[in-house]
Amino acid sequence: MPISHPERHRTQHVGWLRAAVLGANDGIVSTASLVAGVAASNATHTAVLVAGVAGLVAGAMSMAAGEYVSVSSQSDTEQADIGRERKELAANEPLERKELAAIYVKRGLDSNLANQVAEQLMAKDALAAHARDELGISETISARPIQAAFTSAATFSVGAALPLLVVVIAPAARLGLLVAGTSLLFLALLGALAAYTGGARILIGIVRVTILGSSGNGNNGGHRRFVWDRCIESCWIRKG
């Protein structure tokens, strides 16, 4: 008799949450750094906006490609292990049953019960049982390159749009300072949302994303931090 299971576990979000947080974080930091840097060079308001839009488009495409390639590598590894396990099952199923039973014994079952569980699970789907309990590969946390690519590109675009919105409405004289300040706020909101979705403490999420994110992360983190620091420094010099 099937048992209803209304609870929703946080691991259901693993497939897209990492890509979403990385994409949004990168979108906020890279675009804010870009537009603040251009603004600090005394460029026109239109030039700043065009640079930001170009950064959004290029960054979204780059994030999608990078996520697809990296997660595809993980998927390839998983599929290679599953393929090897399929061959081992075809070559010597009794040995594989003993191997699976030994795993259950290590988890606390007695030998007889472990053998029964292994036999029944393998009778239903031997490959799935070995993939889950021997290799640690399950449908919930398996690599999904296309999902990761689209998620990262979409959230990068959303994150990058936030500093661009500030560019549109902020006065040109204080553009760099306002972009830098509001971007810290956007990072804090992202940290809170990510922590809530992942089941972590909200304050920890805010501190983690705001401090580490504003320092610059991703492939060009050092460059972004340099630009970020110079932008803030330039804005304060102007203010003075």
pLDDT at 158 over 90: yes
**Nearest Cα to Cα of residue 63 among 158, 165, 143, 179:** 158
What's residue 104's pLDDT? 93
pLDDT at residue 140, as a whole number: 64
Is residue 21 within 8 A of residue 209, CB to CB? The reply is yes
Decide: 218 and 194 in contact? Cβ < 8 Å.
no
Task: Evaluate whether residue 89 is within a structural domain.
Answer: yes
Does residue 4 have a pLDDT over 70?
no
Alpha helices in the chain (DSSP H): 14-40, 45-91, 93-106, 111-133, 145-169, 175-198, 202-207, 213-214, 221-239
Pick from 45-54, 81-90, 168-177: least confident = 168-177
Pick from 59-63, 169-173, 189-193 the range whose average pLDDT is largest.
59-63
Q: How confident is the model at residue 145 (pLDDT cuts 50, 70, 90)?
A: confident
Q: Is residue 5 part of a domain?
A: no
CA atoms within 13 A on the CB side of 122: 22
What is the total count of domains within the chain? 1
Please, what is the end-to-end C-alpha distance for the chain in angstroms? 74
Residue 47 lies in a domain: yes
Phi/psi at 175 (nearest 5 deg)? Answer: -60, -50
**H or E element, residue 187:** helix 175-198
Q: Is residue 20 assigned to a domain? A: yes
Is pLDDT at 170 greater than 80 in this prediction? Answer: yes
Within-domain flag for 17: yes
Whether the per-residue pLDDT at 120 is higher than 70: the answer is yes
Best-predicted range by mean pLDDT among 4-8, 19-23, 35-39, 234-238?
Answer: 35-39
pLDDT at 236 over 60: no
**Mean pLDDT of all residues in 25-45:** 88
Residue 33: pLDDT above 60? yes
Q: How confident is the model at residue 75 (pLDDT cuts 50, 70, 90)?
A: confident
Angle between helices 111-133 and 45-91 (to 10 degrees): 140
- Residue 63 within a domain: yes
Report the alpha-carbon distance of residue 223 to residue 206 in Å, rounded: 23
CA gyration radius, the chain: 24
Q: Which residue has the tokens 């040109």?
A: 172
Is residue 120 included in any domain, yes or no? yes
pLDDT attached to residue 160: 93
Contact, 150 vs 61, CB < 8 A? no
For the cut 90, the answer to whether the pLDDT of residue 101 exceeds it is yes
More confident of the two residues 185 and 212 = 185
Question: Could you tell me if residue 142 is inside a domain?
Answer: yes
Query: What pTM does this model have?
Result: 0.71
At residue 83 the predicted structure's pLDDT band, cuts being 50, 70 and 90, is very high
Domain that holds residue 205: 10-239
Confidence of residue 15 (pLDDT cuts 50, 70, 90): low
60-75 average pLDDT score: 90
